[in-house]
Structure 1
Amino acid sequence: MSRRAPLTHPRRTALALGLVALAALTPACADTVAIDPPTPSDDVAAICSAMLDDAPATVAGQDSVRVAPAGSGRAWGSPAIVLRCGVERPASLERTSRCDVVDDVGWFSQKDDERYVFTTIGRQAYVEVAVPRRYDPPAEALSDLAATVAEHDPVVTPCV
């Protein structure tokens, strides 16, 4: 006659604990935005670190959400408005590209069907802000971030 192993078997206990831990982590992961981390030079990294530390708690009425990897940027809302500092110069940015100024910060703008992507112009670091079209018009997000950008990322050449 075969006997069933009791429910307190070490393997079953480990499996049950693993499933409980996974279930506990799942909601936290859902609130985390994956960001492709930029790789800025050391001087730009210092600017970006200070800027990210000083970023506002809300942007365009959206609360801050976690990002992964930590320190790679900041994000707000769902779908997320994402700020990355120390990105590469946009390939399509030319000397004659249009510059949109929002609260004294110049931005190069690009858009697709899902979002707007703004990159600062004329500052020491390139700062990118991606705003999903759900938050139309996107100027509110740029306005909420302008003071932080202006405080931490010095103007090299004004775009206007």
Structure 2
Amino acid sequence: MSFFRHRHALLPALAATVLVTVAGCSPADGRASASVPSPGAKVTELCRNLDEALPATVDGEDRDDPEPASELTAGWGGVAIILRCGVGQPPKMIDPKVANGNDPDALAGGVDGVDWLMEQQDDGTHRFTTAGREAYVEVRVTDGRDSTGVLIDLAPAVKEAIPEGIAS
């Protein structure tokens, strides 16, 4: 017997599978997720201040916080832009190749008064981590957009909420 003779018997089963899959999806199911950092009390307070100062829109994307809900994470445009406050110091931040500009996947730079370690990840996303601030703030940009607008939009909140200094 050929597959084509019995394909009509498979169609109802396939249709039922598709319906169950679609019915199980909801807007909440499609939300981005981000692991929540667990910094000390001082950094947590700074991150709460940052959460209050963050803009409603970043690079044209509306705020859409990831799950689980936390004052230490924020998002815009689903998975397009994810911010985590209170992360640990990135290993590349102390790598002399980065400081000398010899690492093509990590560069140091400043945008509107906020210094960042800028890293391209293996999956093509970009990760930016603040430098010279009392808390490390990480921003991931995943959709190939020009991230300059993202950093420009976030700079005022970072400057307001996270003082310059050495992260603890």
Normalised by the size of structure 1, how large is the TM-score? 0.76
SS at structure 1 position matched to 2:87: coil
Q: Name the structure 2 match of 1:3.
A: none
SS at structure 2 position matched to 1:52: helix
SS at structure 2 position matched to 1:92: helix
Q: What's the C-alpha RMSD, in Å, of the aligned pairs? A: 2.0
CA distance in 2 between counterparts of 1:27 and 1:68 reads 12
**1:42-57 residue pairs with structure 2 within 5 A?**
42-57=41-56
**1:143-158 residue pairs with structure 2 within 5 A?**
143-156=152-165
For structure 1, which runs of at least 5 residues remain unmatched after alignment? Answer: 1-22
Contact 1:116 1:133 (8 Å CA) reproduced: no
Q: 1:124 aligns with which of 102, 116, 134?
A: 134
For structure 2, which runs of at least 5 residues remain unmatched after alignment? Answer: 1-22, 100-106
Q: 1:78, CA displacement in angstroms?
A: 3.9
CA distance in 1 between counterparts of 2:56 and 2:36 reads 20
Contact 1:81 1:129 (8 Å CA) reproduced: yes
Q: Name the structure 2 match of 1:58.
A: 57
Amino acid at match of 1:73: T
CA distance in 2 between counterparts of 1:79 and 1:45 reads 23
Amino acid at match of 1:132: T
CA distance in 2 between counterparts of 1:95 and 1:25 reads 44
**Across the two proteins, how many residue pairs are aligned to each other?**
134
Are 1:88 and 2:92 counterparts? no
Amino acid at match of 2:65: R
Normalised by the size of structure 2, how large is the TM-score? 0.73
Identity in percent:
36
Q: 1:33, CA displacement in angstroms?
A: 1.5
SS at structure 2 position matched to 1:86: strand
Contact 2:127 2:140 (8 Å CA) reproduced: yes
